[in-house]
Structure 1
């Protein structure tokens, strides 16, 4: 709860930079070819996602991880990584969800 109030106060004092990631996904980290993005809901809860950019829309054209951590490979694309790469990305997603401060 204190985190939420801190975010709200910071948003009032420094509105533009503090709104980055609020209700909009923004890049948080890159793990190999994977991009980790996060947005903060109005209630202060982080939502995180990971994908490999391919130039298309996030959901339909990129290799990504589902909400339950399953590898999703759109038709016409092939995943060139290893299962261990996915484990590392899943660990990064967990750190993203655990706290507002993300430490790679």
Structure 2
């Protein structure tokens, strides 16, 4: 049961998006089918929920880092464009002064 549930829940971000109640329902189904004991199910639910929380935190961190990178790059791009405009203006002024 544990291996099948790990594989099913770990696909993509399924566990990160799955709430504790949904995980409990899934584990309860395994208990009813006799594939897990009730004593093991509570600990396993907690483990899966914790794993989901960790995955969500990692995803949030990755998204935050990517957003900061884009914002930083956009800021650098704007600075570069501003410097290019200033350089062009100086070049025009120099060519008219000559």
The TM-score bracket by the shorter chain reads 0.3 to 0.5
TM value normalised by structure 2: 0.34
- Which structure shows the higher helix fraction? 2
TM value normalised by structure 1: 0.32
Q: Which has the larger radius of gyration?
A: 2
Relative CO higher for 1 or 2, CA cutoff 8 Å, sep ≥ 6?
2
